């Protein structure tokens, strides 16, 4: 019994004995990916607390040439937008800087951008580059014939009254010497003046719708649809005159010829209770300059030639040769003062006999005038006109032949009167 129990216990012990363990599989460690080093953080630029000053009356003016650059500067109480424009000298590292908008009377920025300036190039100078330049407050540039003040406002100070559209009025009384009568009249005038240079030192002028209406006693009119002329400068002398008194000297005589014409010139004449209506269909004349300025604008000349005229009152055509001496002077650089004068004689030929007047009537016209610019409204000049006129004629049937005199004074408003072609560039402090 005991032996059986021992034998059973041993068998149980032997069954619980485990076999040799299998070797464990080795687990490989994961391969680590190399991590690139993080670059050091770029330090933030220090804030730019630069305060750009606005220009004053003594500030320099930006030049006309060169590129205009847009700048964005730190806002200031005067220019909160920070919008500026600059012309820079990259060699000197200096910029002439002006606000991009006009300033009010207290020197603060308005919403109105600068007028008559070149466009600035945006995004051309980053802040880092701007900080390397010396910034000088300046007044923005102005076109030739224009002036800009320290507030950025622009105004025109140079005018060409030979290129304009004008309208005006004047008090124009007339005195008839033969009858001693004084006519109270007013004049309304308007027209278009054009002028342009041509080739070979030639200057062209044209007037359209040159009209004068006289209202009041003895109402009348004088109107021309088109008037054109050109003058030229001949560099080759027509005659070379040499004198031999003492040292030989040579004098050159030039023939600066030109051309003048009128198309459809109408005139209504009233004397006492009589009137006459004339229409010049066309007139052509040759001109000779006795003197002219270097730019051909001012001159003294003579002109002569024929005209075909229609006597509308009596219903026939006539031939009217004429000769004139006339001058036109622009007295100053900026075109503010003008003097004009003229004397013209006409003879009416091939006319039919008309009772109460000669067979070959004559006319003589004298005129002298002065015009000066008094002020400008929206850069359009308002001028004062003063002139005196005298006319002798005997072509009005049944009216006394003799002189009539007129003194006229008025105002003229000129639209589209650009700066003269010889206008200089303006600078602050123009006198």
**At residue 12, what are phi and psi to the nearest 5 degrees?**
-65, -40
Report the SS3 class of residue 108.
coil
Residue 180: what pLDDT?
A: 82
Q: How far apart are CA 156 and CA 336, in angstroms?
A: 12
pLDDT exceeds 60 at position 32:
no
Residue 61: what pLDDT?
A: 93
Q: How far apart are CA 166 and CA 170, in angstroms?
A: 13
Choose the weakest-confidence range: 50-59, 119-128, 186-195: 119-128
**Would you list the DSSP string of 275-298?**
EEEEEEEEEEEEEEEEEE-TTSSS
Residue 11: what pLDDT?
A: 52
pLDDT exceeds 70 at position 301:
yes
**Would you list the DSSP string of 387-419?**
EEEEEEE--STTS--EEEEEEEEEEEEEES-PP
**Residues 289/255, Cβ–Cβ less than 8 Å:** no
- Region 43-58: mean pLDDT is 80
Q: Which residues of 342-357 are buried (b: 16+ CB within 10 A; e: fewer)?
A: bebebebeebeebeeb
In this prediction, what percent of the chain has a pLDDT beyond 70?
87
Residue 429: what pLDDT?
A: 44
pLDDT exceeds 50 at position 277:
yes
Residue 127: what pLDDT?
A: 81
**Of 335, 326, 420, 342, which is closest to residue 371 (Cα–Cα)?**
335
| CA-to-CA dists, residue 266 to 16, 188, 224, angstroms | 147, 16, 6
Q: How far apart are CA 120 and CA 111, in angstroms?
A: 17
- Region 260-281: mean pLDDT is 95
pLDDT exceeds 50 at position 22:
no
Q: How far apart are CA 257 and CA 371, in angstroms?
A: 27
Q: How far apart are CA 367 and CA 420, in angstroms?
A: 26
**Would you list the DSSP string of 21-80?**
PPPPPPPPPPPPPPPPPPPPPPPPPPP----PPPP-TTS-B--SSS--EEEE----SS-T
Q: How far apart are CA 77 and CA 82, in angstroms?
A: 10
**Of 209, 169, 177, which is closest to residue 193 (Cα–Cα)?**
209
Entry field: residues in the chain? 431
Give the model's confidence band at 403: pLDDT under 50 very low, under 70 low, under 90 confident, else very high: very high
- Residue 190 CA from chain centroid, whole number: 20
Domains for the chain: give ranges and CATH numbers: 69-156 (no CATH), 164-415 (2.40.160.40)
Report the SS3 class of residue 130.
helix
Cα dihedral 334, 339, 345, 351 sign: positive
**Residues 428/57, Cβ–Cβ less than 8 Å:** yes
Report CA dihedral (112, 115, 121, 126) to the nearest 10 degrees: -40
pTM score of the predicted model: 0.82
130 CB contacts (<8 Å, ≥6 apart)?
71, 73, 95
> Nearest-5° angle of CA 36, CA 42, CA 48?
170
Residue that wins the pLDDT comparison between 130 and 309: 309
Choose the weakest-confidence range: 36-45, 229-238, 245-254: 36-45
pLDDT exceeds 50 at position 283:
yes
> Nearest-5° angle of CA 344, CA 320, CA 345?
15
Give the model's confidence band at 6: pLDDT under 50 very low, under 70 low, under 90 confident, else very high: very low
pLDDT exceeds 50 at position 66:
yes
Give the model's confidence band at 253: pLDDT under 50 very low, under 70 low, under 90 confident, else very high: confident
pLDDT exceeds 90 at position 198:
no
Locus of tokens 């075109």: 335
Report the SS3 class of residue 193.
strand
- Residue 425 CA from chain centroid, whole number: 12
pLDDT exceeds 60 at position 427:
no
- Region 259-277: mean pLDDT is 94
In this prediction, what percent of the chain has a pLDDT beyond 90?
74
Residue 1: what pLDDT?
A: 47
- Region 384-407: mean pLDDT is 94
| Residue 216 in tokens | 């009041």
pLDDT digits (tens, 9 = 90+) for 357-379: 999 999 999 999 999 999 999 99
Q: How far apart are CA 317 and CA 313, in angstroms?
A: 11
Residue 46: what pLDDT?
A: 63
Q: How far apart are CA 88 and CA 75, in angstroms?
A: 21
Residue 14: what pLDDT?
A: 47
């Amino acid at each position: 019994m005991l032996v059986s129990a021992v034998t059973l216990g041993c068998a149980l012990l032997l069954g619980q004995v485990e076999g040799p363990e299998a070797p464990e599989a080795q687990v490989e460690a994961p391969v680590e990916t190399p991590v690139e080093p993080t670059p050091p953080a770029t330090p933030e630029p220090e804030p730019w607390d630069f305060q750009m000053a606005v220009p004053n009356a003594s500030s320099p003016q930006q030049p006309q040439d060169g590129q205009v650059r847009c700048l964005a500067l730190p806002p200031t109480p005067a220019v909160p937008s920070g919008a500026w424009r600059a012309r820079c000298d990259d060699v000197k590292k200096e910029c002439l800087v002006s606000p991009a908008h006009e300033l009010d009377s207290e020197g603060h920025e308005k919403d109105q951008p600068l007028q008559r300036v070149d466009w600035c190039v945006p995004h051309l100078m980053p802040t880092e580059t701007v900080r390397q330049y010396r910034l000088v407050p300046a007044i923005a540039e102005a076109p030739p014939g224009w002036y800009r003040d320290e507030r950025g406002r622009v105004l025109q100070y140079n005018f060409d009254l030979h290129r304009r559209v004008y309208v005006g009025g004047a008090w124009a009384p007339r005195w008839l010497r033969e009858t001693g009568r004084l006519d109270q009249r007013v004049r309304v005038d308007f027209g278009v003046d054009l002028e342009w240079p041509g080739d070979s030192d030639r200057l062209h002028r044209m007037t359209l719708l040159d009209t004068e209406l006289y209202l009041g006693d003895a109402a009348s009119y004088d109107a021309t649809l088109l008037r054109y002329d050109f003058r030229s400068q001949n560099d080759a002398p027509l005659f070379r005159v040499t004198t031999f008194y003492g040292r030989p000297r040579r004098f050159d005589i030039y023939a600066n010829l030109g051309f003048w014409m009128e198309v459809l010139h109408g005139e209504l004449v009233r004397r006492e209770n009589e009137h006459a209506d004339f229409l010049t269909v066309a007139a052509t004349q040759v001109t000779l300059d006795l003197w002219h300025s270097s730019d051909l604008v001012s001159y003294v000349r003579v002109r002569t030639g024929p005209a075909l005229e229609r006597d509308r009152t009596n219903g026939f055509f006539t031939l009217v040769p004429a000769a004139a001496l006339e001058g036109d002077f622009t007295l100053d650089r900026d075109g503010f003062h003008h003097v004009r004068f003229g004397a013209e004689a006409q003879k009416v030929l091939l006319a039919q006999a008309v009772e109460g007047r000669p067979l070959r009537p004559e006319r003589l016209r004298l005129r002298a005038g002065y015009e000066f610019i008094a002020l400008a409204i929206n850069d359009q000049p308002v001028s004062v006109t003063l002139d005196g006129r005298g006319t002798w004629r005997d072509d009005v049937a049944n009216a006394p032949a003799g002189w009539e005199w007129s003194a006229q004074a008025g105002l003229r408003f000129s639209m589209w009167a650009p700066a003269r072609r010889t206008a200089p560039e303006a600078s602050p402090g123009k006198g």
